[in-house]
Amino acid sequence: MPQPTASDVHVNRPLTNVMIAWSLRPGAFAFNTVFPMVPVMKQSDKYFVWDRKDAHRDQAAERGPGGKAPVTVRRLSTDQYQCTVYSIAEAIDDQVRANQDAPLNLDRSASRNVGDKIMLRFERKWATNFFVTGVWTGSTTGTDLVGGVDFTQFAAPATGSPTTVIREQIFHLAKLNVRPEEMTLTLGPDVFRVFLDHDDFLNRLSDNEPQILNQQRIATILGIRQVVVPMLGFNPDNETEPGAFSSPNTNEFVFNDSMLLSWAPTAPSITDPSAGYTFWWRGLTGGNNGMRILRYRDEPHTDMIEGEGTLDPKATAPELGVFFSDCLA
């Protein structure tokens, strides 16, 4: 008499404790780490700017009995931010939702997906505005520093001297009366990879500590507050239809082989300058750093899960930033 086979006694079903799901796991983002986030109530507004040159002039003079103090003059101007609104939505059909198997939760995964896409847009916008040439004027030359032209490009284990190159700019920025221990160095992931194996840093570790570098140890060696490495990858191929890729599906980093040295306060300030601010429109999105998730009905049979975000990453004191491009040999 025939016996049941393995396929007779078991019907394949989706596992409830395993699913292959992709999301953003970059560690630190740059857009909400390097410069303070500034919540604003209107999409655009102005802010006051005191002239730096006036503030740093030595104008006090001796005054004898009955004399008058010299009068200083400070120039005041305004600048403006403009928050851009970004959005992306995912549709969930009623029939599809009703027929889903565990562990699928289409509403929850759609919320995460559109939220990730807003953060990716934020990060790429930040990189476009800040991590490029032609923005910063704080270097010893007043312009961007280019590897192979202004300094020897870096390669592990011993090509170039990153500590010497960076420290020269740290102390140059300090002439603007900002403290080195409050500065931030933002590194493209490939630059960070080279630094991890570079003798210029490794030889400065003491014998009684692990001979392994990380972001904090590099910051300590340089004498600055923090090193930020935004290791966010993205797919540069924007398909028009699912599966219709026109080129290989290969991720690349948002941030290139460059560095940005900058000074900013830890929070928005009316008494200190800041190399940059990231303005976000709280009047539209409420909390959560300029992001919100919306759910609304697209009649007759579909729910839309929409991610919405607003921001304007703006260089507010370009003289407090030094950009190093093409750093690697």
pLDDT of residue 237: 77
Which tokens belong to 30?
Answer: 């740059």
Three-state SS sequence of the chain: CCCCCHHHHCCCCCCCCCCCCCCCCCCCCCCCCCCCEEEECCCEEEEEEECHHHHCCCCCCCCCCCCCCCCCCCCEEEEEEECEEEEEEEEEEHHHHHCCCCCCCHHHHHHHHHHHHHHHHHHHHHHHHHCCCCCCCCCCCCCCEEECCCECCEECCCECCHHHHHHHHHHHHHHHCCCHHHEEEEECHHHHHHHHCCHHHHCCCCCCCCCCCCHHHHHHHHCCCEEECCCCEECCCCCCCCCCCCCCCCCEECCCCCEEEEECCCCCCCCCCCCEEEEEEHHHHCCCCCEEEEEEEECCCEEEEEEEEEEEEEECCHHHEEEEECCEC
36 closest CA partner among 318, 212, 298, 269? 269
Return the pLDDT at 206.
84
Q: Are strands 259-263 and 183-187 parallel, antiparallel or unpaired?
A: antiparallel
Does the pLDDT of residue 117 top 90, yes or no? yes
Q: What is the pLDDT of residue 238?
A: 67
Distance CA 328, CA 162 (A): 11
Q: Region 95-109: what's the mean pLDDT?
A: 92
pLDDT at 241 over 70: no
Assess whether pLDDT exceeds 60 at residue 246: no
pLDDT of residue 244: 58
Asked whether residue 26 carries a pLDDT value surpassing 70, the answer given is no
Query: For residues 69 and 245, what is the distance between their CA atoms, to the nearest angstrom?
Result: 72
The residue whose two tokens read 């699913």 is 19
pLDDT category of residue 87 using cuts at 50, 70 and 90: very high
AA letter at 222: L
pLDDT average, residue stretch 274-302? 93
**Average pLDDT, integer, range 247-259:** 85
- pLDDT value for 15: 75
Give the pLDDT band (50/70/90) at residue 37. very high
Q: What is the pLDDT of residue 235?
A: 86
Pick the CATH number of 84-237+252-325 from 3.20.20.100, 3.40.50.2000, 3.90.1690.10, 3.40.140.10: 3.90.1690.10
| This prediction's pTM | 0.90
pLDDT at res. 217: 95
Exposure letters 167-190 (e unless 16+ CB within 10 A, then b):
bebbeebeeeebebeebbbbbbbe
Q: For 177-199, write each residue's pLDDT tens digit.
A: 999 999 999 999 999 999 999 99
Task: Say if CB 92 and CB 303 are below 8 A apart.
Answer: yes
Mean pLDDT of 63-90: 95
> Within a 10 A sphere around the Cβ of 298, how many other Cβ atoms?
12
* pLDDT of res. 257: 97
Give residue 17's pLDDT.
83
